[in-house]
Amino acid sequence: MFEYLKEIWPTLWPTLAAIGVILAFVPFLGLYMTFIERKLAAYVQDRLGPNRVGPFGLFHAIADAIKLFLKEQTIPAHVYKLLYFIAPTFSLMTAMFALVVMPFGPVPTEYSSGFRYIVAPGIDIGILMMIAISSLSAYGIILGGWASNNKYSLYGAIRSCAQFISYEIPLGLSIIGIIAAAGSLNIEQIVAAQGGPFWNWNMFWQPVGLLVFFTSALAETNRLPFDLPECEQELVGGFHTEYGGIKFVLFFLAEYTHVITVSFLTSLLFFGGWHFPGLTGPVDSSLGGMLLRTFVLVFKVGMVVSFIMLLRWALPRFRFDQLMGLAWKGLIPLGLVNLLCVAVVLTFDLPKHLLSFTAIFIFVGSLISARQLQFTINRPRSAGRPSIAQTTSEVTI
């Protein structure tokens, strides 16, 4: 056995090191993302934010973690105990396992030599595997809502199921165009195809795909304006109403892990990954080159994470019918049109940057959506009941 371990050790230790990095840094990032989000919220709302514990409030997240870990672990008497404990664990496990095939830095061509920024490199169905595993995280929320034996939690679980099913379709449609152009499901090869000048980045010739992907992925994270499974104003806390202490922390950490995954995927698939013209060359396996590429990718991911956090304080929450309508009437048609355009360009071997003009579909769709929204606001709620605008005008008169 020792001879076998000695033989596979050159390929085993990079995998173990990558797993160690993920297990060490993802919880740490999840912990401090709460601090960063509260600081951004304070900046948007013109207040100070956390500033009491440590210099500039940097230890506030650690104090929150200690408080949550030391909280009394109460278990409501009416819950289904086995599923009640499985649900948060399952959510975190699926969120972490999705990171196995995602490169969090530049991956060298020779997978067997030295440290690599990925747990399982060279998987030809990497992007498909990641989406499949990420989809399983819905079961953690559904189990939590069902096991809580609480009608508010159950409503949140049902909403989550409908939301995940609806937004998985446009998410897949938005990625098919990228896969078809790169000719591979391997994330590393998709990033390699974006090397060179800026206009090789997929965001410049797939603007509709970027919009559909980012919106759908944001809905998968259950973040505002897509936090219908939680929705504190309506459901008290939604699927995690009956959870507290460390059990709630696991749900919370799973949500932030999804945010990290979405940010990495957006950067890798659309923003060129670790490529940046003038800074990173096509081939540079030196230590300095690898560190520079890692910094470029982390910077892009940080920008996407900040944008996701700012959206929470910039957009109101959708109604549930608006949430479903956005997926089935908006994103899915846009994804199909974008996929058709990609197929035409690739079939007739046309310049792929002609697809930049598909941004016109976004403009037209925005006009139609604004018109429908205005019509919904102005129309009467029922035959004998005037609209809000009519009532206001009568009161003014």
Mean pLDDT value across residues 84-109: 84
Q: Do 327 and 167 meet the contact criterion of CB atoms below 8 Å apart?
A: yes
pLDDT (tens digit per residue) in 315-328 = 888 788 888 888 88
Residue ranges covered by each domain of the chain: 2-21+72-351
**Res 301: pLDDT:** 92
Burial class (CB in 10 A: 0-12, 13-18, 19+), 35: buried
pLDDT (tens digit per residue) in 129-169 = 888 888 888 888 888 888 888 888 888 888 888 888 889 89
Average pLDDT, the chain: 82
pLDDT (tens digit per residue) in 340-396 = 888 888 888 888 878 888 778 777 777 777 777 677 667 665 544 444 444 444 433
Q: Do 123 and 186 meet the contact criterion of CB atoms below 8 Å apart?
A: yes
**Res 23: pLDDT:** 84
- What's the pTM value of the predicted model, to 2 decimals? 0.85
| Residue 205 in this model has a pLDDT that exceeds 90 | no
Mean pLDDT value across residues 90-107: 84
Long-range contacts of 11-15 (CB under 8 A, 24+ apart): 11/111, 11/112, 14/111, 14/114, 14/115, 14/116, 15/119, 15/120
